[in-house]
Every structure is written in C-alpha cells, then in structure tokens.
Amino acid sequence: MSLETIVKDGAYLADVSDHTYVVEDGEEEMARVQDCITLSQVYALEAQRDEIRSMEQRAIDEAIAWSLLSAEIHNMGASREDIINLESTSNVFLEEEKAPATCCCCTENLAGINHRILPCHHVFCLKCIQVLCSLGVRNRSLVPAHCCKTEIPIEFVREALSAEDFDTYQRYMSDHYRNWTKSDLVSDIEYGALIKDRDWRQCPGCGVGVQKSGGCSSVRCFYGHAFCYECGQIPCVCQHKTYLHS
C-alpha cells in the first residue's frame, strides 16, 4: 500500500487505504507520515497473526502427542493395583514449587497425588512415569524415556520399575550411549552381503541384522519384531520347531 501523490490544480492527491483524499498545499509531509503509520499498523497486525498461528500449531501438535500417549496407556490396560506402590518413595526429587492442577500426560487432577517434575518443567503423576519407562523396557528404541527431548532422570526410572525391568532399562541405556563403530556400507545390497558373510539373520519385519549368541531360536530384533532365527519366518515353519523353541 504505497502513497502516490499527483499535482493537480495546485493540490495533491494521496491514495491511502484504498481511499483518495485531497491534500492542500503544504500538507504533503503530513500525508506521508499518516501513510507510514498505516503501513506500520498493517505490518504489526500481520506479524501478530503469524505469531498466533504459530502458537495454535504448537498447541495442536502437543495435543496430538499427548493423545497418542494416553491411548497407549489405555491399551496397556494398567490398573492401579498393577502399578508399583510409588507413593512411599522419597520426595527428595520434588522441586519446591506449586504443581499444576493436572498431569501433563493423563490430565488427572494432581491434588493429593504424588508426582514428579521433569527437567523440562512438565509435571507427571507417578503412574504415567511408570508407563513411559515400561514402554522402553518393551521396546528398546524408546530408551531413554524422555519428554520434550529431555531424558527422564534415572532416579525417577529406578523408582518406577521393578529391579528386573530396571536392569533391562540400564542395559538398553548402555547400548544407546555406546560408541558404535560406523560402517562404510552405502547400499542395502552391501548390507545384505555382510549379514550373509557373517552368518547373521535379517529380520523379516524391518530388515535389521540379528546375531544370536545363545538360547532358543525364537528371537526378537532391536525394534521388537519376533521371528525364528533358523528359518527367518513369522511364524516359524521349521521341522524342528519343538526342539528349537523349547
């Protein structure tokens, strides 16, 4: 929206906000100032609208994320009787600040309920922390458990899991932070040849290579797909199924 001035019969014509105004001699500078103010207001309004749209999108993304996690909690079918009694654990990790009214995950009212404040300052009830950590035990790709790309403190994980599950979680954590040797393979064909050369098996679910060090032939890959190590099928079609999977 620019200001256009035209000399006509000793007066100036100013086009501002889609309207035409007659400006007397000596008032041209005032018209320019008014037009600049109008442009500034338009730009400020557009910037404000962009910010509002960005905030709305972030709110939608967060709502979808929490909805998916809540659905997973429901699918697990965990009841309060199945949840480890975490209420008796120490409150040493609670920050001295007023807690919000509801859990960030399940939206349960936190009044009178023990909870934990994560490093990202989101607050979770102990039940939801246990579910997040338990998902990691079931699927190692979800380890470390986190919120907002921030890891859940190991102290919270220890109090949420049984001793056996915590050992599994720690093992997955060690694998996660291990300095793995990077391969120089550049194609799936080379990767498949490497697996065959080393007598490994390729998961039929995702294609990742699997090496069995012992035990029966019923194995599970890094991403949780179960298959037979001998025949590589789901389900197993081996003739020696009873022996191999005993």
3-state secondary structure the chain: CCCCEEEECCEEEEEECCEEEEECCCCHHHHHHHHHHHHHHHHHHHHHHHHHHHHHHHHHHHHHHHHHHHHHHHHHCCCCCCCCCCCCCCCCCCCCCCCCCECCCCCCECCCCCEEECCCCCEEEHHHHHHHHHHHHHCHHHCCCEECCEECCHHHHHHHCCHHHHHHHHHHHHHHCCCCCCCCCCCHHHHHHHHHHCCCEECCCCCCEECCCCCCCEEECCCCCEEECCCCCCCCCCCCHHHHCC
CB atoms within 10 A of CB 72: 12
Given this model, what pLDDT does residue 94 score?
45
Residue 237 and residue 213 share a domain: yes
Tell me which residue has tokens 């020696």: 240
- Is residue 38, in this structure, part of any structural domain at all? yes
Residue 163 and residue 86 share a domain: yes
Position 237 confidence tier, pLDDT thresholds 50, 70, 90: confident
Residue 172 and residue 83 share a domain: yes
Residue 165 and residue 93 share a domain: yes
Distance from C-alpha of 164 to C-alpha of 144, rounded to nearest angstrom:
17
Residue 117 and residue 140 share a domain: yes
- Is residue 205, in this structure, part of any structural domain at all? yes
Q: Is the confidence at residue 174, as pLDDT, over 80? A: yes
- Is residue 72, in this structure, part of any structural domain at all? no
Q: Which of 43, 8, 13, 44 is nearest to 31 (CA)?
A: 13
- Residue 145 belongs to domain spanning: 78-176
Residue 155 and residue 225 share a domain: no
Distance from C-alpha of 126 to C-alpha of 87, rounded to nearest angstrom:
8
Residue 148 and residue 98 share a domain: yes
Q: In the structure encoding, which two tokens stand for residue 217, read together?
A: 């032939």
Q: Which residue has the higher pLDDT, 46 or 123?
A: 123
Q: Which residue has the higher pLDDT, 26 or 124?
A: 124
- Is residue 222, in this structure, part of any structural domain at all? yes
Residue 203 and residue 163 share a domain: no
Structure confidence by residue, pLDDT tens digits, 152-170: 999 999 999 999 999 999 8
CATH code for position 125: 3.30.40.10
Structure confidence by residue, pLDDT tens digits, 127-140: 899 998 998 888 87
State how many domains the chain has. Answer: 3
Q: Is the confidence at residue 6, as pLDDT, over 60? A: no
Residue 99 and residue 14 share a domain: no
Mean pLDDT of the chain: 71
pTM of the full structure: 0.40
- Is residue 73, in this structure, part of any structural domain at all? no
Burial readout 172-200 (b: 16 or more C-beta within 10 A, e: otherwise): bbeeeeeeeeeeeeeeeeebeeebeeeee
Given this model, what pLDDT does residue 36 score?
56
- CB–CB of 124/102 below 8 Å? no
- Is residue 235, in this structure, part of any structural domain at all? yes
Residue 84 and residue 152 share a domain: yes
- Is residue 240, in this structure, part of any structural domain at all? yes
Residue 163 and residue 95 share a domain: yes
Distance from C-alpha of 168 to C-alpha of 121, rounded to nearest angstrom:
27
Residue 203 and residue 114 share a domain: no
Position 85 confidence tier, pLDDT thresholds 50, 70, 90: very low
- Is residue 67, in this structure, part of any structural domain at all? no
